[in-house]
Copies of this chain bind each other. A is one copy, B any other.
Amino acid sequence: MINQLNTILSNSHEAFLTYQFASGESKKIFLYTIAEEIEAIGDTLLQTASEESNLPLARFIGERARTCSQLRAFGDLVAEGSWVDAVIDSALPDRKPLPRPDMRKMAIPIGPIVVFGASNFPLAYSTAGGDTASALAAGCPVVVKGHPSHPKTSVLVAGAIKQAIQKCNIHPHTFQHVVGESFDIGKELTLHPLTAGVGFTGSMSGGRAIFDYAQQRKVPIPVFSEMGSTNPVIFLKDALLQRAPEMAKAFAASITMGVGQFCTNPGILLGIKGSALHQFTNLLALELSLTSNFKMLHEGIYKNYCTGLDSILNDKYVETIYHAHAVGDIIASPVLTRVTASNFLKNPDLRQEVFGPFSMVVECNNMSQLIEVWQTLKGQLSTTIMCTDHDLTEHSGLLKIGRNIAGRIVFNGVPTGVEVCNATVHGGPYPATTDGRFTSVGMDAIKRWVRPICFQDCPDALLPPELQNENRMKIWRKVNGNLQNQALS
Bits for A412-432, please: 1 = Cβ < 8 Å to B, else 0: 110001010111110101110
A110 to B435, CA, bound (A): 11
Whether A211 sits at the interface, judged by CB under 8 Å, is: yes
Whether A167 sits at the interface, judged by CB under 8 Å, is: no
A276 to B220, CA, bound (A): 40
Assuming the contacts A108-B403, A451-B436, A462-B392, asked whether A100 and B419 have C-beta atoms less than 8 A apart, the reply is yes
**For residue A88, which residues in chain B have a CB less than 8 angstroms away from its CB?**
423
Q: CB distance A411 to B452 under 8 Å?
A: no
Assuming the contacts A423-B89, A436-B110, A462-B396, asked whether A410 and B105 have C-beta atoms less than 8 A apart, the reply is no
Whether A389 sits at the interface, judged by CB under 8 Å, is: yes
A379-412 contacts to B (CB < 8 Å): 379, 389, 392, 396, 399-400, 403-404, 406-412
A435 to B20, CA, bound (A): 19
**For residue A399, which residues in chain B have a CB less than 8 angstroms away from its CB?**
458, 462
Q: CB-nearest residue of chain B relative to A482? A: B476
**How many Å from the CB of A204 to the closest CB on chain B?**
12
A156 to B70, CA, bound (A): 54
**For residue A478, which residues in chain B have a CB less than 8 angstroms away from its CB?**
422
A131-181 contacts to B (CB < 8 Å): none
**For residue A450, which residues in chain B have a CB less than 8 angstroms away from its CB?**
437
A411 to B463, CA, bound (A): 12
* Contact pick for A421, options B100, B396, B404, CB 8 Å: B100
Q: CB distance B456 to A408 under 8 Å?
A: yes
Q: CB distance B457 to A423 under 8 Å?
A: no
Q: CB-nearest residue of chain B relative to A18? A: B400
Q: CB-nearest residue of chain B relative to A223? A: B220
**For residue A333, which residues in chain B have a CB less than 8 angstroms away from its CB?**
none
A459 to B101, CA, bound (A): 46
A22-69 contacts to B (CB < 8 Å): 62
**How many Å from the CB of A428 to the closest CB on chain B?**
8
Whether A104 sits at the interface, judged by CB under 8 Å, is: yes
Q: CB distance B409 to A459 under 8 Å?
A: no
**How many Å from the CB of A447 to the closest CB on chain B?**
8
The 4 closest A-B pairs by CB, nearest first: A425-B454, A103-B423, A105-B423, A408-B454
Q: Known pairs A105-B424, A437-B452. 20 more at Cβ < 8 A?
A: A21-B400, A89-B419, A98-B417, A101-B410, A103-B419, A103-B422, A105-B422, A219-B430, A403-B453, A407-B454, A408-B456, A409-B456, A411-B459, A413-B456, A413-B457, A422-B481, A423-B454, A425-B454, A429-B451, A483-B483
* A-B residue pairs in contact (CB < 8 Å), sample of 11: A62-B97, A89-B423, A219-B430, A392-B459, A407-B454, A408-B453, A410-B457, A411-B457, A412-B457, A425-B454, A437-B447
